[in-house]
Each structure stands twice: as C-alpha cells, then as structure tokens.
Amino acid sequence: MFAELQQMRNTPALRTIKHFHDHPGYIAATAQNIRDYWMKHGRPDKLVMSFHGLPQFSLDKGDPTTANARRADA
C-alpha cells in the first residue's frame, strides 16, 4: 500500500494503527453496536462472536491477529 501511495503526487494523510483489539474506543464501539442490535432485535440467550480465519503460513510468520482476537474476546 505504501509503495502505491508513493507513486501519487497528492497523497492523502494516513495514520496506521498496529493493534486496536484492546483499544478502549474499539471495545466501546463494539459494545455499543451489540447493545444497539439488541435494542432493535431483542437480546438472545447467547452472544457468539466470530473472527475471520487466517492462513497457517501467516500465523507461522508471526501474525498476531488470532492472539489479539482471543484477548479481545476474553
């Protein structure tokens, strides 16, 4: 992505975030989305959260997504 942006004459301002799974703003926004859904559709007996899968080779190279998802789910 950054290589592509370097080719542009008028690049947009960007800010990258390495980890957000435990950021209070992310947690608050996720919780609010759940509460809003429950208010509209009713609260179920259980809440199931699903995280997308990652290829094993990404995990083998040290991708932290799975570990971060587990911490966020706790």
Write down the pTM of the prediction.
0.56
pLDDT in tens, 6-63: 888 888 888 888 778 888 998 899 999 999 999 999 999 999 887 667 788 877 888 7
Nearest to 64 by CA among 12, 21, 26: 21
SS3 labels along 2-47: HHHHHCCCCCCCCCCCCCCCCCHHHHHHHHHHHHHHHHHHCCCCCC
CA dihedral 2, 58, 73, 25 (to 10 degrees): -10
